[in-house]
Amino acid sequence: MFDTIVQILCQIKEDLSLRERLTPETDLNNEVGLDSLQMLNFMVKVEEELKIEIDYDEFDYLHLRSVGTFIDFLNRCAPVAGAYEHAVE
């Protein structure tokens, strides 16, 4: 999942060198520098790529204090309905 998050961030920031600087400890709020539109695009892309549904009632910007913390949060998100069936086919 880490590699997918890194790939999405590189695409959104249009900066492939970001791949070399990102670690599980990287602060997504302060070190990556996503503006509000980029953040929205990031969240949508994460949902699409990982086939999950982020519960925005549970989401807090504290979940972005590191890539690892964000991944921990994502691991608790529900898969999109039908995602498993499509993955098996």
Q: Tokens 């990982």 appear where?
A: 50
Which residues of the chain carry a pLDDT beneath 50? 85-89
Domains of the chain with bracketed CATH: 2-88 (1.10.1200.10)
- pTM, whole model, 2 decimals? 0.85
Q: Which pLDDT score, from 0 to 100, does residue 81 have?
A: 76
Q: Which pLDDT score, from 0 to 100, does residue 28 have?
A: 94
Q: Is 78 helix (H, G, I), strand (E, B) or coil?
A: strand
Nearest to 32 by CA among 48, 12, 58: 12
Q: Which pLDDT score, from 0 to 100, does residue 82 have?
A: 65
Q: Tokens 């070190």 appear where?
A: 31
